[in-house]
A and B are shown apart, each in its own frame.
Chain A
Amino acid sequence: MTTQKQIVHIIDDDDAVRDSLRMLLSSVNIESKSYPNAQAFLDTDIDYLSGCILLDIRMPGMSGLELQSKLNNMGCQLPVIFITGHGDIPMAVEAMKHGAAEFIQKPFREQDLLDRISNALKKNRIKAGEDMEIKAIQTRITALSPREHEVMSMVIDGKANKVIAYDLGLSQRTVEIHRANVMEKMEAKSLADLVKMVLLTAK
């Protein structure tokens, strides 16, 4: 997943604005794709996209805000940067409430835009990295035996081996073996490491 190229998806109904944005991004070696309206973007295979979305708030048909709420419902994780016009502040506030990463007012200083894009791409990268890690941890968890899983939950709850052995009606030695297996299968270097991993998947 992290290997997938990050692309800035420009969604704006204005041909000239779209064209100039693509040119600016290509001048700083950022790859971009553009869409003349919200539907054109929805028609692509969104699940596999990486990067961020540069979204005009005012568009005919589906507005930027409507697209944002649709993407939220679809579980789309791409950070959204809204481009707003003069006097669109109430709309921008609404957008931020619904999780927009940034907004920028037209006409903008290009450095401001590029900074926001680079922030959004970073956010997307971190998110993608996290996602990968979570996925890996989940795989490891499924590899645990039911007993090991039980022991892990109790270890995380802070219970001593003695208590666990008593609660589960096992010998302390057996619990120690299970615990060592858990640490190995989960690739945890320490108890703290194990707790962090499990918390990550619980998010």
Chain B
Amino acid sequence: MAKNKANNPLDKQAGRLAEQDYQSVTATLEALLEAAVDAIIIIDDDGKIRMFNTAAERMFGYSAPAVVGKNVNILMPEPYSSQHDRYLQNYLETGEAKIIGIGREVKAQKNDGALFPIELSVGEIKGGDRKQFVGIIRDITERVRVETEIRDNQERLAHVTRVSTMGEMASGIAHEINQPLTAIATYAQACRRLLEQKKADPETLDSTLQKIGMQAQRAGEVIRRLRDFIKKRVSHRHVADIEDILQESVKIAQTDTRVLNYGLTLELNNKLPHIVVDSVQIQQVILNLIRNAIDAMEDNPGQPIKIYAEQSDNEFIEIIVSDQGQGLDEQTREKLFEPFFTTKSSGMGLGLSISQSIINSHGGRLWHTVNRHGGSDFHFTLPLRASPNLRKGNAS
């Protein structure tokens, strides 16, 4: 064949052209791979690294010759490292893609053992006799750092407003704690008097001591709830039951005795799925909305404030805080979510703007509508599945 080709000038020409094309394509590809800012790694169907570009060398701290031929799982922390072969096997057998064609944020491991966040996308190279996969990896350390910083700042601001809200509620809190203290002191004195008169039977004393214990716990519970609410902390998202969050918020709101005049009802439709949230921040949003509702009803006592929670579709839980207050005029509605806008004589005007930023950062939405009583409905949604940048660290 080669001889034939050599003999035929046309063939020779074509061969040379093909050779040139091949070389230029390879050169282009190589240049592309080397110039890429993202790490590009190609692996075989058994997980062995085939190609490791310059960016990958920089990112992971390995030289290409040192890793080519090794299993790609050396670039991952546990438990992914030991599970990777199984993932690959599973895909080859079932064709079920968990990551291929989908971008993901995961953790990667450098040569020196340091972990760092990456955005990984995986594609399949078809055509050869063996399947190969290409992984494109972007180091998102900086982006995550900025996001964390923004989130920390938001939490700091949220914390300041939580503390100031508690300040506004001080007299209600004192009342809340005074109730059990009054009962404890009174029970104790009653016991002493019974003992003095030698009228105390062990059963009465025992049941009263039990009651005293329960009241002490009740006071402790009030303090625990408030301390959890205003403790200095870093924003922390975890799997939580929205029903628990709602109940806690309602209990905190009830320390404002004005709630007594209206009543507060919680209407939950079915059992709601658990969601990933910063529960203290969500409590803060609900408390803020309830307190706004109380303020709006100042001149309209007797109508309960209603809170509804339901799964609105496959993606979101929706929570509505509904009052039968005086409603909002056009001008107020326009500026509702602006920071430092307030219609109250006291208050910083930060409640709704912080609530909105909390809900937005959770991947939800906060908005206002007028209900059929002319009062306000504040709605907010929370995604059932945490948005991608929330899966950081604990996702596969």
Give A contacts to B, CB under 8 Å.
Answer: 14, 16-17, 19-21, 23-24, 26-28, 58-61, 85-87, 106-110
Contacts and interface: CB of A to CB of B under 8 A. Distances in A.
**4 closest cross-chain pairs (CB), A and B:** A20-B186, A16-B183, A60-B260, A110-B189
Q: Which of B175, B182, B191 has the most CB of A within 10 A?
A: B182
Q: By DSSP majority rule, is chain A's interface helix, strand, loop, or mixed? A: loop
A110 B194 CA distance: 14
Q: Which of A14, A16, A26, A86 has the most CB of B within 10 A?
A: A16
Interface in B182-200: 182-187, 189-191, 193-194, 197, 199
Given A16-B218, A60-B261, A60-B263, A85 B175 contact: yes
B193 A17 contact: no
B260 A106 contact: no
Q: Which of B178, B194, B214 has the most CB of A within 10 A?
A: B178
Interface in B146-198: 170-171, 174-175, 178-187, 189-191, 193-194, 197
A100 B180 CA distance: 25
Nearest to A15: B183
A100 to B, nearest CB: 19
Nearest to A87: B171
B215 interface: yes
Contacts of A21: 186
Contacts of B189: 24, 27, 110
B186 A17 contact: yes
Given A60-B263, A107-B185, A110-B189, A16 B180 contact: yes
B186 A58 contact: no
B208 interface: yes
A11 to B, nearest CB: 15
Contacts of B214: 16
B260 A58 contact: yes
28 contacts: A14-B183, A16-B179, A16-B180, A16-B215, A17-B182, A17-B183, A19-B183, A20-B182, A20-B184, A20-B190, A27-B190, A27-B191, A27-B194, A27-B199, A58-B257, A60-B261, A60-B263, A61-B260, A85-B175, A86-B175, A86-B178, A87-B170, A87-B174, A106-B178, A106-B181, A107-B181, A110-B185, A110-B186
A59 B260 contact: yes
Nearest to B173: A86
A108 B189 CA distance: 11
A193 B190 CA distance: 46
B98 interface: no
Given A16-B218, A27-B199, A58-B260, A107 B193 contact: no
A58 B214 CA distance: 22
B211 interface: yes
A59 B257 CA distance: 8
Interface residues of B, number: 30
Contacts of A108: 182, 185
Contacts of B197: 27
Contacts of A86: 171, 174-175, 178
B166 to A, nearest CB: 15
B17 to A, nearest CB: 92
A17 B179 contact: yes
Interface of B: 170-171, 174-175, 178-187, 189-191, 193-194, 197, 199, 208, 211, 214-215, 218, 257, 260-261, 263
Contacts of A109: 185
Contacts of B190: 20, 23-24, 26-27, 110
Given A59-B260, A60-B260, A24 B193 contact: yes
B221 to A, nearest CB: 13
Contacts of A58: 175, 257, 260
A28 B197 CA distance: 9
Nearest to A59: B260
A62 B136 CA distance: 69
A19 B204 CA distance: 13
Contacts of B175: 58, 85-87
Contacts of A19: 183, 211
A109 B211 CA distance: 19
Contacts of A28: 193
Given A20-B184, A20-B190, 7 more contacts: A17-B183, A20-B182, A26-B190, A27-B194, A85-B171, A107-B182, A110-B190
Contacts of B179: 14, 16-17, 106
A109 B185 CA distance: 8
A16 B181 contact: no
A80 B190 CA distance: 22
A16 B218 CA distance: 10
A87 to B, nearest CB: 4
Nearest to B261: A60
A58 to B, nearest CB: 5
Contacts of B193: 24, 27-28
Contact of A23 (B180, B208, B260): B208
A58 B211 CA distance: 23
B218 to A, nearest CB: 7
Contact of A20 (B171, B187, B194, B218): B187
